[in-house]
Structure 1
Amino acid sequence: MYDLPSEDPEEPGLPDEFHDLQPQLLSATLRLQNYAKDQIFTGTDLNLYYDVHHPLWHKRPDWFLALGVPRLYDGKDLRSSYVVWQEGVNPFVVVELLSPGTENEDLGVYADPATAISGASVPAIEPNSLVNGQSTKAVPPGKWQVYEQILRIPYYVVFSRYNNRVRAFRLVGGHYQEESLDSSNPRIWISELDLGLGLWEGEFDGIERLWLRWYDTHGDWVLTEAEYQQQRAERQRQRALQERQRAEQEQQRAEQQQQRAEQEQQRAEQQQRRADAAADQLRQVVANLLQANLSVTQVASMTGLTEEKVRQILDDGC
């Protein structure tokens, strides 16, 4: 019962939580080196007015990027819509997230009935004839026609969360050409942005699944601010751990050196005690021999000492 349709019979798609989360991730991982943050605008589920002659006609992309446009309208206000003839800049990238029944609207001539998502049905939109980029009928053209022929948006990406299929289109010679993507690792590189879009498997906002996400020139996923702060905190924690380990190792080395010094001192003291004991014993032997009325020469010969040493021992004993 979680996917009941809208009460509006004209509502072709079924809005869902994914349509809120996925655009957030696209905006959160968009890091453009050649544009200041205040010169980048991303719109999410925002009315996009595209025809000055039919000012009420609009499309509502799930996500789009406009370059060289102030973040705030007129430098001071949040936008409630995006009016291309006032902004003077068309979107550069549009991302649509397929919902049941929106394939024909979102994919135009590239819609594949065999892989259509079950649900609401929307008939194929007959393209209006265009004269100088304007419709000759008072019927709003479909998304595909608006993006390709009227706004001429350079990159158009469509993602279905139902089958995790990414389809990417590049404007070439005034018409969209579908990019050939690796089905196991679909990625499209946008050289003008120095970024690419691909499918990332991970957790965002507590939800684990495949997400459409930006990657950089090294093929690495661009981090969100929260991920960057988390990674930074982890690096700081690792550095602190390494510093603590180095300090502990230095302390251990100092303790080992102190232990070695103490052991050397103990060995020296033991050697000194042994030397003192040997000297005492030798003096006693010399004294005993002299008391036995042996001459200095005889004592020196028997003990291996010089006569001078014997006399010194004799003098010390006196």
Structure 2
Amino acid sequence: MDKSPNFTPHEAIAQTEIAIDTFVTAKQKRLLTDSLYTSLHGQPFLIESNIGILHTQGQPLVAPDLMLSLDIGEDWWTHRHHPYSLWEFGKSPDLVMEIVSTTTGDELGAKLSVYERLRVSYYVLFDPERLLGGPRLRAFELRGKCYFEIAKFNELDKPIWLEQVGLGLMLWQGEFEDKDGLWLRWCDQQGNILPTGYELAQQELLDREEYEKRAERIESQLLQANQRTERAKKWAQRLGEQLRALGVDPDTV
């Protein structure tokens, strides 16, 4: 791994062409980032979009649409004014993702080669509009020095399991931020989608409402049972009075 280059991070950033997101791409990145910060616990990690990776002395930054780095030190915030430089973080990212929005990104050429040289464990390519003419979702795993394609498909509800990061990815048709569309989602090994903070809050609200409805039903059932018990007592009392009027002791019947 190369040592820190002889130019400042700001100079390095200036060498990188700024990529402009579409509205859909920006939402997709928020969805993947939000759901992971909401759902992934128990290990330090960093997931961000459009963060420059500074990897080789004298070379410009490479800025994937999404970058995930696991098990990084808690002091990463001290580098908040810097890009993700490999010598400061001590490792390459574990996963990078490119979301295809034009046909000029060279995601299967130059970008794939760069991430391969960086030894990023997984390279994920999401092409929701199939602009490259292939499948919507493709995943590559680093084996030795080269990437091998481990998945490619257009199917909904079919997850990819990425063993080295302990996460899955799947295509999902649904609503995010009031917009219905085809989205890429994180999932667990059983294919259960990792929720966003909003989805988790909505589910908790529905669970609470269902609990309250169930409690109301139980209370209503108890009230009805008490009412039946009271009616039975009154009926037994009237029967006892009628028997006594006939000279019959109801306690001996």
- Please report the TM-score for the alignment, with normalisation by the length of structure 1: 0.65
Choose which of 208, 215, 228 in structure 1 pairs with 2:180.
208
Q: Is the 8 A contact 2:65 2:98 kept in 1?
A: yes
> RMSD in angstroms over aligned alpha carbons?
2.3
1:243 matches 2:243: no
Q: Structure 2 unaligned runs (5+)?
A: 1-15, 249-253
Return closer, same or farther for 1:42/1:217 CA change in 2, 3 Å cut-off: same
1:29 matches 2:35: yes
Aligned residue for 1:16?
A: 22
Return closer, same or farther for 1:13/1:46 CA change in 2, 3 Å cut-off: closer
- 1:82-101 to 2 correspondences below 5 Å: 82-101=84-103
| C-alpha distance in structure 2 between counterparts of 1:143 and 1:180, whole Å | 18
What is the identity percentage for the equivalent residue pairs of Structure 1 and Structure 2?
28
Choose which of 147, 170, 179 in structure 1 pairs with 2:115.
147
Return closer, same or farther for 1:144/1:192 CA change in 2, 3 Å cut-off: closer
Deviates more, 1:86-95 or 1:76-85: 76-85
| C-alpha distance in structure 1 between counterparts of 2:79 and 2:245, whole Å | 92
| C-alpha distance in structure 1 between counterparts of 2:148 and 2:64, whole Å | 20
Greater than 4 Å deviation, 4+ residue runs: 10-14
Aligned residue for 1:272?
A: 244
Structure number with greater Rg is 1
Q: Is the 8 A contact 2:160 2:170 kept in 1?
A: yes
| C-alpha distance in structure 1 between counterparts of 2:50 and 2:25, whole Å | 9
Once the two structures are TM-superposed, the CA of residue 187 in structure 1 deviates from its matched residue by 2.6
Choose which of 62, 66, 69 in structure 1 pairs with 2:69.
66
**C-alpha offsets along residues 150-206 of structure 1, whole Å, 9 cap, x if unaligned?**
x11110001112137011111112111112344323432011232201111111111
1:191 matches 2:197: no
Return closer, same or farther for 1:157/1:79 CA change in 2, 3 Å cut-off: farther
Q: Is the 8 A contact 1:41 1:66 kept in 2?
A: yes
**C-alpha offsets along residues 28-63 of structure 1, whole Å, 9 cap, x if unaligned?**
22244551xxx2111211222111x21x51111100
Aligned residue for 1:258?
A: 230
Choose which of 44, 63, 75 in structure 1 pairs with 2:49.
44
Aligned residue for 1:78?
A: 80
Return closer, same or farther for 1:229/1:161 CA change in 2, 3 Å cut-off: same
Once the two structures are TM-superposed, the CA of residue 244 in structure 1 deviates from its matched residue by 1.2
SS state at 1:58 partner: coil
**C-alpha offsets along residues 75-127 of structure 1, whole Å, 9 cap, x if unaligned?**
44634521122221111000100121235x2111xxxxxxxxxxxxxxxxxxx
Aligned residue for 1:234?
A: 206
Q: Is the 8 A contact 1:181 1:188 kept in 2?
A: no
Q: Is the 8 A contact 2:95 2:120 kept in 1?
A: yes
| C-alpha distance in structure 1 between counterparts of 2:87 and 2:78, whole Å | 19
| C-alpha distance in structure 1 between counterparts of 2:129 and 2:244, whole Å | 88
| Number of residues of Structure 1 aligned to a counterpart in Structure 2 | 226
Q: Is the 8 A contact 1:48 1:82 kept in 2?
A: yes
**C-alpha offsets along residues 260-290 of structure 1, whole Å, 9 cap, x if unaligned?**
11011111112222338xxxxxxxxxxxxxx
SS state at 1:212 partner: strand
Choose which of 146, 167, 172 in structure 1 pairs with 2:143.
172
Q: Is the 8 A contact 2:68 2:96 kept in 1?
A: yes
Return closer, same or farther for 1:83/1:196 CA change in 2, 3 Å cut-off: same
Return closer, same or farther for 1:238/1:199 CA change in 2, 3 Å cut-off: same
Q: Is the 8 A contact 1:13 1:99 kept in 2?
A: no
